Every structure is written in structure tokens, then in C-alpha cells.
């Protein structure tokens, strides 16, 4: 399964990466599985696990971590934002 992963805010800065396309093993089914898989890629990637209240969107719609992903999905990870 191939998915495109986007990173925003502080995650983008910490990773030095705006996006990547990756091939996932068949046993990765959810947004949480993808997050956990990415955190195993090295020290910088631990930002995904360390960000409190990490948000995700799948195909530009807010998603919960238990949402099932499918081939061709676009998954975005971003820290919570505030504004005023």
C-alpha cells in the first residue's frame, strides 16, 4: 500500500520534511499504525510520538487515530494550533 504523508507546523520543522510517499507493510491498517511505523525510522521521527494532542487528517478530512487507511490515501500530521 502506498500513501502520501504530509507534515505541518513544528513537525515539519523537526523532521525537515514537508511530505513523503511511502510503501507500507500490509499489517499497517490505521493512522495510529502509520504513526507508530514512522516513529521507528529514527530519532527525529519520535516527534510524532512526543507531540501532545497530535492531529491527523486523511484525504483532507479530520481523522481519528483508529481510522483505517487504504492505498492512495493522503495522511497529514500536525500539532494542535491556536489562534486569536
Q: Tell me what pLDDT residue 36 has.
A: 94
Which of 9, 23, 17 has its CA nearest to residue 44? 17
Which of 36, 12, 13 has its CA nearest to residue 25? 36
Q: Tell me what pLDDT residue 49 has.
A: 87
CATH topology of domain 2-78: Ubiquitin-like (UB roll) (3.10.20)
What pLDDT, in 10s, does the model give residues 11-70? Answer: 898 899 999 999 999 899 999 999 999 999 888 898 888 888 899 999 999 999 999 999
* Cα angle: 1, vertex 7, 48; to 5 degrees: 85
Confidence class for position 82, pLDDT limits 50, 70, 90: low
Q: Tell me what pLDDT residue 83 has.
A: 56
Amino acid at each position: 500500500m502506498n500513501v502520501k504523508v504530509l507534515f505541518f507546523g513544528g513537525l515539519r520543522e523537526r523532521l525537515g520534511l514537508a511530505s513523503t510517499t511511502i510503501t507500507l507493510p500490509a499489517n499497517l491498517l490505521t493512522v495510529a499504525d502509520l504513526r507508530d511505523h514512522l516513529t521507528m525510522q529514527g530519532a527525529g521521527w519520535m516527534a510524532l510520538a512526543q507531540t501532545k494532542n497530535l492531529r491527523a487528517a486523511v484525504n483532507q478530512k479530520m481523522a481519528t487515530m483508529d481510522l483505517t487507511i487504504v492505498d492512495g490515501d493522503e495522511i497529514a500530521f500536525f500539532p494542535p494550533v491556536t489562534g486569536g
